[in-house]
Structure 1
Amino acid sequence: MTRITFISPDNQHITVDAPNGESLMEAAVEHDVPGIDADCGGGCACATCHVILSDDLMAALLPIDEDEQYLLDFLDNRQKNSRLSCQINVSDKLDGMIITIPKQA
C-alpha cells in the first residue's frame, strides 16, 4: 500500500492508503476525497479529477500525453504542475506524496 495525502479545495488533509496499480483518481473516489468528481469514471474525458503535483512528483512521472494535454488546456485554473489524477497510477514513488486539489474555476 502507498500512503498519499490529498489536500482538498477547502484545505482538508485526507491521508489514504492506496494499492499500487490503481489510479490516483480511484484512490480519491474510494476515500470520498472532496474535489475529485471523476465524472467520466477515469476515461480521460472530462478533467473533473484535476490535481496539482509537486515538482518532484512531476519529474518522476511519464510526460502528459496528447489526450490529457487537450483536457488540461481547457481549465481556467491550470497550473504548471496540473495533471489529471485518472492518468497517474499509484506506485511506490508516490508514497508520502501530497496531492493538491484546486478549487474549481
Structure 2
Amino acid sequence: MTSSAESAHSVETRLRELLDRGFQFINPCDSSGEITAVVGVRAHDNVTDVLWLRDENDVLAMRMPSEEEDFLSPSQVLWSSEGAAHRVLAELIELPDDRTPGMLLRVGAA
C-alpha cells in the first residue's frame, strides 16, 4: 500500500510527464474563483487526449478522434479511463501515440 505522500508525488511526477509530452492545462473556476478541476488537452497525430482531474480520486481521461468538435462532451471516444489519479494518469501515459489500444491497424498504413 502506498502512502498519501507517495501517491501525491506520483501524481505530480505524472502530470509533469504529461507537460513534457505537450499537454496544455487550464484550471476552470467556479463563481467564487475556486479551481474546480485541472483540465489537460493534447492534440497529436489523428487524436486528441483530454484529462479532467477534479480530485485525487476523481479523474477522467479520454482519447477521441481529432475531428471531434466538442472535446468536453465528445460524441465519439476511442479510449477512456476513470478513477484514482495515480492509476488513470499511468494508463494515459502508457497509451501509444501512434494508435489507440483495441483499434485495428492497417498493414502498410502511413
Task: Look at both structures and tell me which one has the larger radius of gyration over its CA atoms.
Answer: 2
Q: Which has the higher contact order (CA 8 A, sep 6+)?
A: 1
Superposed pair shares fold, TM > 0.5: no
More strand by share: 2
State the TM-score, normalized to the length of structure 1.
0.30
